[in-house]
Amino acid sequence: MTDILKGLKLVEISAFIAAPLAGLSLAQMGAEVIRIDQRGGGPDAARWPLSPEGESLYWQGLNKAKRSVQLDLRHEDGQRTARALVQDAGMLVTNRPDTGWLDYDRLREHRPDLIMLAIRGTHDGRGAIDYTIQARTGLPFLTGRARADAPVNQMLPAWDAVCGLLAASGLLAAERRRRETGMGGLIELSLEDCALWMLGNLGMLAEAELGPARQPTGNDVFGAFGSDFATRDGRRVMVAALSNRQWHALTEATGTTDAMDHLARAFDVDLTTDAGRWTAREPIKLRLAQWFSARDHASVAATLTRHRVLWGPYQTITELVRDDPTCSEANPLFARVAQPGAGAYLTPGIPLDFGTPRSPASRQAHPQGADTDDVLSRLRPLFAQS
């Protein structure tokens, strides 16, 4: 944990990914983040994956470095206490319906400069989650070898991640405005809009509007050269060349420079351009596949690394954790931390490196509800005012 955000306070009333990720991002940079859940645990309290002891690794992962408070939010006393905590912090992020006791105008009665970021499913207030947003974006028809009758969702909740990180940025931007002007405000952020924002920024919406429509291309890197190849011992690797330097590195490593020159003449394409390499990707892959299939993975890895080719091995998550030094304590991102009810396991801090050591506190998840008494004891004077 760094102290970049020391002194910043945030209350988080949330569940699942986007809002907890926003709180986590700020907490791991030194903000004091208090997550409030319903007494007995929120809807994600036992969400899979679970530790062998039955603890939610999902919950622990998204709630490191936070203080965990549980209140009876179904009744006025619990709601009143939550409002007092929000009043003290001056900042709130939530993906719960912001009505009733969570209505912004009601909350700001006791804190006129309150900053509140409300995450919604869609811009018009309908419910949605990452997996339903994925379906609407059209990307499942472009993923892998998807067919018109068999769309494939990606398993990474990418839109939740985009939304959570954008929410953290929005909170910091609003806090800066408050410091300069004294103004708080309600910030509304739609999960669906986060997906549409990214698709638009990547040119994909304009491409669909202007045509032609993109088709699924498996593991090929669209509009450039990149694909996967099998080695002699049954492993697979991904290689890519997004610049001429990278293309030259790949052809030199594989000894295919002359073959690629011949291919360019035979197909009348310019392989010094992304467009040319994309157009000729199938014959290029045939030439390269011969080189990869004649060598074991270890030899391929050594050669590609020596020539500074952009490449990566296909491996399972188990292999990543067991065998890859980038996912180990050799990487300063990680430490092995004893988490409550789950034992010690490899736990990341925040990837941002501010030039100061990451403390164990940035990786530690508190037991659910463990901070309730301590947090409330410090804020009793506020309860009488709220």
Written as tens digits, the pLDDT of the chain (386 aa) is 578 999 999 999 999 999 999 999 999 999 999 999 999 999 999 999 999 999 999 999 999 999 999 999 999 999 999 999 999 999 999 999 999 999 999 999 999 999 999 999 999 999 999 999 999 999 999 998 878 789 999 999 999 999 999 999 999 999 999 999 999 999 999 999 999 999 999 999 999 999 999 999 999 999 999 999 999 999 999 999 999 999 999 999 999 999 999 999 999 999 999 999 999 999 999 999 999 999 999 999 999 999 999 999 999 999 999 999 999 999 999 999 999 999 999 999 999 999 988 777 788 999 999 999 999 998 876 655 54
End-to-end CA distance of the chain: 32
> Are 308 and 164 within one domain?
no
> Which residues are CB-contacts of 146 (< 8 A; sequence separation ≥ 6)?
140, 152, 216
- With respect to residue 287, please indicate whether it lies within any of the assigned structural domains: yes
- With respect to residue 59, please indicate whether it lies within any of the assigned structural domains: yes
The pTM score is 0.95
CA distance 42 to 266: 63
> Are 244 and 192 within one domain?
no
> Are 45 and 121 within one domain?
yes
Alpha helices in 90-126 (DSSP H): 104-107
- For residue 268, what are its two tokens? 């009348």
The reported pLDDT for the residue numbered 145 is 80
> Are 260 and 369 within one domain?
no
The reported pLDDT for the residue numbered 146 is 72
> Are 288 and 154 within one domain?
no
The reported pLDDT for the residue numbered 158 is 98
- With respect to residue 328, please indicate whether it lies within any of the assigned structural domains: no
- With respect to residue 165, please indicate whether it lies within any of the assigned structural domains: yes
The reported pLDDT for the residue numbered 382 is 60
The reported pLDDT for the residue numbered 274 is 98
> Are 193 and 57 within one domain?
yes
- With respect to residue 22, please indicate whether it lies within any of the assigned structural domains: yes
CA distance 236 to 229: 5
> Are 369 and 265 within one domain?
no
The reported pLDDT for the residue numbered 86 is 98
300: left (phi over 0), alpha (psi -120 to 50) or beta: alpha
> Are 193 and 64 within one domain?
yes
> What domain count does the chain have?
2
- With respect to residue 55, please indicate whether it lies within any of the assigned structural domains: yes
Choose one of 295, 313, 331: the last residue of a domain: 313
> Are 31 and 125 within one domain?
yes
Choose one of 255, 290, 313: the last residue of a domain: 313
For the chain, the residue count is: 386
> Are 156 and 62 within one domain?
yes
Phi then psi for residue 211, to 5 deg, are 80, 165
Q: How many CA atoms lie within 13 A of 26 on its CB side?
A: 32
Catalytic residues: 160
Per residue in 311-327, is it b (16+ CB within 10 Å) or e — as a string?
Answer: bebebeeeeeeeeeeeb
CB atoms within 10 A of CB 356: 10
Q: Domain range holding 242?
A: 236-313
> Are 193 and 254 within one domain?
no
- With respect to residue 173, please indicate whether it lies within any of the assigned structural domains: yes
- For residue 170, what are its two tokens? 């929005």
Choose one of 298, 313, 328: the last residue of a domain: 313
**CATH number of 48's domain:** 3.40.50.10540
- With respect to residue 138, please indicate whether it lies within any of the assigned structural domains: yes
The reported pLDDT for the residue numbered 359 is 75
- For residue 132, what are its two tokens? 């339903």
> Are 58 and 153 within one domain?
yes
